[in-house]
Amino acid sequence: MSSKLKFTNTHKSTFYATARLRVDAYLKGKGGEKHATPAMWRKTAFFLLGALALYGLILSNAFGVWTMFGLALLLGVFSAFIGFNVCHDAIHGALSSNSKVNKVFSFVFNLIGASPYVWNLTHNVVHHTYTNIPGHDEDIEVAPGLIRVDPNEKVNKVQRFQHIYAFGLYSLSSLSWVLRKDYIKFFQKQIGEQDTANHPKKEYYKLFLYKAIYYVLFIVLPLVVLDITWWQFIIGFLGLHLAEGLVMGLVFQLAHVVEGTDFPEPNAQGNMEEAWADHQMRTTANFATKNKLAGFFLGGLNQQIEHHLFPKVCHIHYPGISEIVKKTAFEFGLPYIESPTFSKALGSHYRMLKKLGWHAYREQQLAYEVESPTEKNLALS
C-alpha cells in the first residue's frame, strides 16, 4: 500500500467548497469568530477547576476510602471531559486565534497523562486525513486480533464474542495511553503509512519529562500523602483510569464504528477516488446532537461530522453549522450519518461489533462448509 495515498476526487465533487462557503458566511454573520466564545471559556474553567478541586479533595486526606474512590472515579470522568472540551480544540488550533494560548491549553494534555505531540501526529495528521482506511488510520486498530472493525479483515474465533468484551477493553484505553501507547507510537517509524521516524530532539525530552511529572502527581504524591495502603491506592488508580477509558472509548467508537459508516480501501493505484470531504461523510457519524448535556460534556465529539470537516472551528459553533452541513450533504447526494440519542448510537455500535464478529464468523464457517465438505468430513472422522 502506498504511503502517498491521495484523494483524487475523480468525480470533481464541489461539496466541500460549497459547504465551506456557507459555513464561512454563517460565521461571518455571527461576528466572524470561529474560536472560543465567552461560553466556551466558562466551560474551560468549569472542567479545569472541577478536576483541580477533585484532585485537591483526594489529596486532602479528609475522607474515607470509599469517598476517595468515588472522587477518583469522578476525576477520571473529568479528565476525559478535559481532553474532549479543552485539549482537543487547543491541539487543533481551534480554541483560540492566538497560537500561544492554544499551546498553553494543549500542555494540559500532559497533566491527564497523554502527549499532545503524539496525539497531533496520530489524530490531527493521520486519523483526520485517512479516516477509517485500513492500514492507514490506526485509530480503528483498537485491539488488533481482539476487535475487528475492518470488514475485509479475516475474523477469528475470539472475535465472535467482541460485542460482549469490547466495552471492557475500551475501559483500558486510558491506562494504556498513560503507560504504553504514547511510547509505542512515538518510537514507531511510521503511523499507518505516515513516516514519523524523525522527531525533533526536544520532543524526546518532553515525552519523558512530562510522563514523569504525571507519574509523580498521580502515583508518587498520593502514595506519600494519603493514609491508605498500597493496594487501596492501586484500586483507586485503576478506578480513575477505567472510568476515564470507558468514557473515551465509547465516545471515540460511536463516531466512526456504527451502522452506515464505511471502511473504504484505496484503488489499484493506491489512491482514494473520492474527494477527501466526501470520504469524511461516509466514514463519520454524529449522535445526540440535540442533547444539550451531551454537547456540553462531550466537547463536540458527538458532532464528529462537523469536526472532521472544520477541525479548526471551535466545537462551541458546531450546533449552528450542523444544519448547513446536513443540507449541503443532501444536495450533493452524500450521507449524513447520525443517531438521535446516545443509547441508539450505542445500540448501533453493539450491532456493528456483532455483525463484524459473531455473524461474520458464522458466514465464514458456512462458506467453508459449502466449499470444503470433504475436509469437514475428514475433520469429524
d(CA 259, CA 248): 20
Tell me which of 68 and 375 has the higher pLDDT: 68
Q: What is the pLDDT of residue 193?
A: 80
pLDDT digit string, tens, across residues 182-208: 999 999 999 888 888 899 999 999 999
Find the mean pLDDT for residues 263-276.
93
**pLDDT beyond 90 at 32:** no
Computed over its alpha carbons, how large is the radius of gyration of the chain? 22
Is the CB of residue 272 less than 8 Å from the CB of residue 6? Answer: yes
pLDDT for the residue 1: 39
Rounded distance between C-alpha atoms, residue 159 and residue 164, angstroms = 10
DSSP state letters, 303-345: BHHHHHH-TTS-GGGHHHHHHHHHHHHHHTT---EEESSHHHH
Task: Compute the distance between CA of residue 299 and CA of residue 123 in angstroms, rounded to an integer.
Answer: 16
DSSP state, 154?
P
Q: How far is CA 193 from CA 10, 127, 147, 283, in A?
A: 22, 11, 21, 19
DSSP state, residue 194: E
162-166 contacts, C-beta under 8 A, 24 or more apart: 162/353, 162/354, 162/356, 162/357, 162/358, 163/350, 163/351, 163/353, 163/354, 163/357, 163/358, 166/142, 166/353
Q: Strand ranges (DSSP E) for 126-278? A: 190-191, 194-195
What integer best gives the mean pLDDT of the chain?
A: 93
**Burial zone of 365 (CB within 10 Å; 0-12 exposed, 13-18 middle, 19+ buried):** middle
Grid cell 478536576 in the structure block, residue: 51
